[in-house]
Structure 1
Amino acid sequence: MENETSIEKKEASILHDPQHGQAKDLYWACRKGDIDAVQHILSSTPYTDINCLEQNGSTTLHAACFFGHSDIVPLLLHQHGVMRY
């Protein structure tokens, strides 16, 4: 069984080194903090796709929060109702 420190390191590694090409454009825009791209992509993205869990174990909300993009977080939460899981 993994200890808490090992799990935290693995989670941090996933967020820092996701596999390019596997995550959706919305995830990358949230990760980079590109609010214009996020707004554009959200305007044409179905709700289920906004909430999808990427192959790296992260979501758009995870990426925006982890990289400190505080302007994108409320956009995702309040305007588009992303799930907090």
Structure 2
Amino acid sequence: MSVSIPSNDEIEDLILSCRYGDLDDIQHFVDCFGPDHLNNARDDNGNTVLHMVCANGHADALDYLLPIISPSLISAQNAAKSTPLHWAALNSHISVAQKLVQYPAGPGADLIDIKNAMGRSPLGEAENVGWEEGAKWFVKVMNLDEVGKGEEELQPVDEPDAIEVEIQDAEGQVAKMSLSNQVPDEDKHIT
């Protein structure tokens, strides 16, 4: 492996390769320059290789990158304070969102609590674009035991083994979801 430093053009090509999910070109970059340069690669808006891969749903490229990048890149924020998980949520990529949150060396469910410059968490972005599948999954795995953070609140429901979750976004909109082991997924909804 070479110890050479990539040029600005080579960094731009890497970012584009991540945007388009060109795994061969990403691997070629790593072969030429090593994985450390992946951690510092940014476009003009502060987007990382993970922002590009996650925004476009390239799960295979994400699988390749996660073990070789710094875990801090998983929660890196761009100029708009959005993380790669915000972009996965904005573009409705469930497998990518799951890989980011479930990656053992990463921050886990804490990623769901990070807010961007608009005051939205990845859950808020999912709700904003009407991505119900993602919003349900985020609620299922997020840290709900931290009431008082201002975003999530648990309330008992008359149904056995059920909870009602209310989530307030930055604009004051409240989304409610009832979670129960007895209700099929298609009957759960956000109002």
Shift of 1:45: 1.3
Query: Does residue 26 in structure 1 map to residue 50 in structure 2?
Result: yes
Which of 82, 88, 91 aligns to 1:67? It is 91
What is the root-mean-square deviation in Å for CA atoms of aligned residues?
1.7
Larger RCO, structure (CA 8 Å, separation 6 or more)? 1
Match of 1:78 in 2: 102
TM, length-normalised to structure 2: 0.32
Match of 2:33 in 1: none
Unaligned stretches of 5+ in structure 1?
1-19
Higher helix share: 1
Shift of 1:68: 0.3
Match of 1:13 in 2: none
Which of 24, 43, 52 aligns to 2:67? It is 43
Amino acid at match of 1:83: L
Higher strand share: 2
For residues 31-80 of structure 1, what are the alpha-carbon distances to aligned partners after superposition, in whole Å with 9 as ceiling and x for unaligned? 00001111111111112121111113210000001100011111111124
The whole-number CA distance in structure 1 between the counterparts of 2:76 and 2:95 is 20
Larger of the two Rg values belongs to structure: 2
Question: Paired residues, what number?
Answer: 66
Q: Which secondary structure state, in structure 2, belongs to the residue aligned with residue 61 of structure 1?
A: helix
Q: Which secondary structure state, in structure 1, belongs to the residue aligned with residue 82 of structure 2?
A: coil
Whether contact under 8 Å (2:75, 2:111) holds in the other structure is: yes
Unaligned stretches of 5+ in structure 2?
1-41, 115-191
The whole-number CA distance in structure 2 between the counterparts of 1:46 and 1:54 is 16
Q: Percent identity?
A: 23
